[in-house]
Amino acid sequence: MTTTLYLIRHGATDANLARPYILQGRGVDLNLNATGRAQAAAVGEFLKTRKLNHVYCSVLKRAVETAQAVAHPHGFEPERLEDITECNVGQWEGMDWDSIALKHPEEFRLFNEDPAESPYLGGECYRDVLTRVAPAFQCLLEKHAGETIAVVAHNIVNRVYTAHLLGLELRKAKGLRQANGCINVIRAEKELIVLETMNSCFHLPPELH
């Protein structure tokens, strides 16, 4: 009895597309912008021919909007889960990396050396995130055994969970790409959980990558 989980990163917000890039954890709760709405629609269009039994999402607006685009063709509303909300980035919320490096050089250095154990200043480290999201995903896989579900989450949430499934050292999760609107395909059968596809963007037209 195989369970399929489509793990999706939400569509883009203005913070995601800002240059320099602006950190957006759980304290900045932005709606999708026009690009993000188009990405969400593309995900929904791609998955509308797949049988989905349920759609879950983080409580943040960008995830909810994306999940609604996925769930709507199937005739139901997504269920929101607090435990898969994005990483708490603490005092670095809304800042860019260059500004962080200038203002908090030591904390910046430690985070870059090992984000698994060194937190965003005043927030979570990757280990903290994995500790809360791994049980949430395990619960969903057990609850929906034999079914197909979609989960809309976030960059760090997806990175740490996919790193966990791949058996990578958690500090290396920072190098895993999770584009806005991407889909990861996870299959579970009994105790075996396999990441089959990571950061797939084939459903997105080139201008939305």
Residue 80's CATH number = 3.40.50.1240
- Look up residue 139 and give its two tokens: 């619960």
Measured distance CA(45)–CA(162) in Å, rounded: 24
> Could you tell me the pLDDT band of residue 29, with boundaries at 50, 70 and 90?
very high
Domain region containing 154? 2-208
Q: How many domains does the chain have?
A: 1
Average pLDDT of the chain? 97
> Could you tell me the pLDDT band of residue 1, with boundaries at 50, 70 and 90?
confident
Measured distance CA(69)–CA(114) in Å, rounded: 36
CA dihedral 142, 144, 150, 152 (to 10 degrees): -50
What pLDDT, on a 0 to 100 scale, did the predictor assign at position 209? Answer: 87
Identity of the amino acid at 88 = N
Q: 94, 172, 95: which is closest to 127 by C-alpha?
A: 172
Catalytic residues: 10, 86
